[in-house]
């Protein structure tokens, strides 16, 4: 466009000069005309040179702009190529990690498969040995039966009774005599034991309970964190939810944000993780700087602080009870019990209370108080890890105590406090009694109404399932079961066995805190009317 303008200007200027030259020629003559023509030609040449120069500069500028655009396009292409290559590298790295995990799992599965194959081979060999033994036993049994039959025939010839008659007569007499003597002896023994044990036990328990009183706390699987305003909820959630996702991933706790004013809820079955998340969230809210990097750093820092706090809690508890030489691993687990509950009762406080109760009872009975307190304090240590490993908390606690150098008497008492193994010392019954007293106190534990009603129904169901029971009533909040029997089909001696059978079934089929008293009532009434 600029070139055309310059060309047009040059042509117009040339024409004007030509016109002037013609006019000048007419007036001044040929010489002047020649000079004017020469000047006009010079002007035209100069205009052409300028036009060519302008055209050349325009072309040069166009080439520079073109090269700059090409370089910019190449830079953008290289940047995109580099970003794609980095993304491909990240994807390959993730694929390698997943591939490694898959290979590890495959190798683990192969190892387990080999172990199962070896176990199967061992079981097959054992089964073959058992079959050989069974065949030998069958042969011995056959020979023994033949000898028994031979002796029976000789006895029958000597006594004059047939085999069936002698057996029936002897069986009837023995059963009647055995049941009569057993019922009488059992009744006398039970009454005497009740008189002696109830008196002494009442003295010890009353003394223990009067000397000890602890507070109880009720906890649940959620923690509520207060925030200054509802605007803070949006900052906690973050852009597109990145803050809340980072918080839940780093802490392992569910963060629930609902319509509750000025509060958010943390939910997790692991109380230690929930406490770490609560402390970290309170620090984030107080600080105000909430972003993924800050969240991860603060949770990591709070986790380290919690590790120190667990040790401090365990050491403080041991100092309160004057228990010494406790393994650092057990001290840390004791600290975890401070954030663990059982039926709403804090497990660490329950363990400390059991230790005091057991120590007081041991002093009354003339036993070693230090061992009694140590066993009772460690009896629920398995509850610190029962959500991570299989098995009952009594077995896990015994395993922990054994691995950390506790004495055999302590390990046995821990495992026997729920009668999973036979007690080898008097300290196991002490722990059972202390555990029952601590857990059965009014207000010590909370129970769900539904499970409470199911326990009452189960008690009455067990009693009503036995022959001779007329009616049954679960009373005193399920701590006593009263049974009314038919006086015709159940006599006094059978009442003793009936109560014992019901107690065994309750112990085997139900779980309950404390003790349940079973009372069998047999009553005969005779009525007549005077007219």
| Cα–Cα distance for residue pair 45/527, rounded to 1 Å | 155
Report pLDDT for 165. 67
From the number of C-beta atoms within 10 Å of its C-beta (0-12, 13-18, 19+), residue 86 rates as exposed
Secondary structure in 3-state letters for 31-61: HHHHHHHHHHHHHHHHHHHHHHHHHHHHHHH
In this prediction, residue 52 carries a pLDDT of 82
Supply the pLDDT for residue 160.
61
pLDDT of 514 reads 64
pLDDT band at 215 (very low <50, low <70, confident <90, very high): very low
Q: Tell me the residue length of the chain.
A: 531
Q: Looking at the whole model, is its pTM more than 0.85? A: no
**Least-confidence region, from 150-154, 185-189, 216-220:** 216-220
What Rg do the C-alpha atoms of the chain give, in angstroms?
48
* Predicted local confidence at residue 235, as pLDDT: 80
- For the segment 213-241, the average pLDDT, to the nearest whole number, is 69
Q: What is the mean pLDDT of residues 174-191?
A: 66
CA distance 248 to 21: 95
Q: What percent of the chain has pLDDT over 90?
A: 0
pLDDT score, position 214: 46
Q: How confident is the model at residue 190 (pLDDT cuts 50, 70, 90)?
A: low
* pLDDT class of 322 with cuts at 50, 70, 90: confident
pLDDT band at 196 (very low <50, low <70, confident <90, very high): low
- Give the chain's mean pLDDT: 78
Residue 206 predicted with pLDDT over 60: no
What pLDDT was estimated at residue 218? Answer: 40
**Average confidence (pLDDT) over 463-487:** 83
pLDDT of residue 42: 78
Say if strands 480-485 and 517-521 run parallel, antiparallel, or are unpaired: parallel
**76-132: pLDDT as tens digits:** 888 888 888 888 988 888 888 888 888 888 888 888 888 888 888 888 888 888 888
pLDDT above 60: residue 219:
no
Q: What's residue 513's pLDDT?
A: 65
Per-residue confidence band for 213, with pLDDT thresholds at 50, 70 and 90: very low
> What's the CA gap between 204 and 527, in Å, rounded?
47
For the chain, list the domains and their CATH numbers. Answer: 222-312 (3.30.1370.10), 322-440 (1.10.3210.10), 449-521 (3.30.70.1350)
pLDDT for 299 beyond 60:
yes
List, as one string, the DSSP characters of 291-359: SHHHHHHHHHHHHHHHHHHHHHHHHHHHHHHT--S--HHHHHHHHHHTT-EETTEEHHHHHHHHHHHHH
Q: Is the dihedral of CA 491, 496, 497, 500 positive or negative?
A: positive
* CA–CA separation, 55 and 334 (whole Å): 92
Using alpha carbons, select from 424, 324, 410 the residue that is nearest to residue 372. Answer: 410
Q: How does residue 191 score in pLDDT terms, banded at 50, 70 and 90?
A: low
For the segment 413-437, the average pLDDT, to the nearest whole number, is 83
Query: In the prediction, which pLDDT does 3 show?
Result: 63
Band of pLDDT at residue 222, cut at 50, 70 and 90: low
Residue range 493-504: average pLDDT?
84
As a whole number of angstroms, the distance between CA 77 and CA 355 comes to: 74
Lookup result for tokens 């304090």: 377
Q: What is the pLDDT of residue 25?
A: 59
Tokens 């991570």 -> residue: 388
Given this model, what pLDDT does residue 162 score? 64
Higher pLDDT: 36 or 444? It is 36
pLDDT surpasses 80 at 2: no
For 410-426, what is the mean pLDDT? Answer: 84
Which range is most confident: 11-20, 61-70, 128-137?
Answer: 61-70
pLDDT band at residue 530 under the 50/70/90 scheme = confident
Q: Which position has the higher pLDDT, 298 or 524?
A: 298
Position with higher pLDDT, 211 vs 316: 316
Per-residue model confidence (pLDDT) at position 207: 56
pLDDT at 208 over 60: no
Mean pLDDT of the region 199-208? 57
User: Residue 452 has what pLDDT?
Assistant: 64
Locate tokens 């702009």: which residue?
65
SS (H, E, C) 133-186: HHHHHHHHHHHHHHHHHHHHHHHHHHHCCCHHHHHHHHHHHHHHHHHHHHHHHH
Find tokens 């036995």 and name the residue: 466
Residues 6+ apart with CB under 8 A from 184: 493
Beta pairing class for 480-485 and 469-475: antiparallel
pLDDT beyond 50 at 35: yes
Cα–Cα distance, 412 to 375 (Å, whole number): 9
Nearest residue to 22 (alpha-carbon basis) of 10, 11, 34? 34
Which residue intervals of 448-516 are DSSP H helices?
449-464, 492-509
pLDDT in tens, 440-459: 655 455 444 556 677 788 88
Q: Which comes out higher in pLDDT, residue 219 or 418?
A: 418
Under the banding of pLDDT at 50, 70 and 90, the label for residue 217 is: very low
């Amino acid at each position: 466009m600029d070139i055309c303008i310059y060309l047009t200007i040059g042509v117009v200027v040339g024409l004007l000069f030509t016109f002037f030259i013609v006019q000048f020629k007419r007036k001044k003559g040929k010489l002047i005309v020649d000079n004017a023509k020469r000047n006009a030609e010079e002007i035209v040449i100069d205009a052409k040179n300028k036009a060519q120069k302008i055209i050349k500069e325009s072309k040069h500028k166009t080439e520079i702009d073109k090269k700059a655009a090409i370089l910019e396009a190449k830079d953008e292409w290289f940047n995109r190529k580099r970003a794609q290559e980095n993304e491909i590298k990240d994807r390959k790295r993730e694929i390698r990690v997943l591939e490694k995990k898959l290979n590890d799992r495959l190798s683990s599965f192969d190892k387990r498969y080999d172990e199962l194959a070896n176990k199967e081979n061992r079981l097959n060999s054992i089964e073959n040995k058992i079959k050989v033994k069974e065949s030998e036993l069958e042969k011995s049994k056959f020979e023994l039966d033949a000898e028994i039959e031979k002796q029976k025939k000789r006895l029958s010839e000597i006594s004059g009774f047939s085999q069936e008659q002698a057996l029936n007569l002897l069986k009837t007499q023995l059963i009647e005599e055995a049941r009569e003597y057993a019922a009488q002896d059992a009744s006398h023994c039970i009454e005497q034991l009740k008189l002696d044990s109830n008196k002494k036990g009442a003295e010890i328990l009353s003394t223990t309970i009067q000397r000890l009183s602890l507070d109880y706390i009720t906890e649940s699987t959620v923690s509520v964190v207060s925030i200054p305003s509802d605007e803070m909820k949006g900052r906690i959630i973050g852009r597109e939810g990145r803050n809340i996702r980072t918080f839940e991933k780093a802490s392992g706790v569910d963060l629930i944000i609902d319509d509750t004013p000025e509060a958010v809820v943390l939910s997790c079955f692991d109380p230690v993780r929930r406490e770490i998340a609560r402390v970290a969230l309170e620090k984030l809210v107080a600080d105000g700087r909430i972003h993924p990097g800050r969240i991860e750093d603060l949770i990591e820092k709070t986790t380290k602080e919690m590790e120190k706090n667990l040790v401090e809690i365990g050491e403080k508890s041991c100092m309160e009870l004057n228990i010494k030489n406790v393994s650092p691993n057990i001290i840390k687990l004791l600290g975890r019990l401070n954030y663990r509950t059982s039926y709403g009762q804090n497990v660490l406080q329950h363990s400390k209370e059991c230790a005091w109760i057991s120590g007081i009872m041991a002093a009354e009975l003339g036993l070693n108080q230090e061992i009694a307190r140590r066993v009772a304090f460690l009896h629920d240590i398995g509850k610190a890890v029962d959500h991570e490993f299989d098995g009952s908390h009594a077995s896990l606690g015994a395993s922990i105590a054994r691995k950390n150098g506790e004495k055999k008497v302590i390990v046995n008492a821990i495992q026997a406090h729920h009668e999973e193994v036979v007690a080898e010392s008097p300290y196991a019954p002490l722990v059972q009694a202390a555990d029952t007293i601590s857990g059965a106190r009014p207000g010590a534990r909370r129970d769900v109404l539904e499970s409470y009603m199911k326990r009452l129904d189960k008690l009455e169901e067990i009693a009503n399932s036995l022959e001779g029971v007329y009616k049954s009533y679960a009373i005193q909040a399920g701590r006593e079961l009263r049974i009314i029997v038919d006086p015709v089909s159940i006599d006094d001696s059978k009442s003793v066995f009936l109560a014992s059978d019901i107690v065994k079934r309750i112990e085997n089929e139900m779980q309950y805190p404390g003790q349940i008293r079973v009372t069998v009532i047999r009553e005969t009434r005779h009525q007549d009317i005077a007219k």
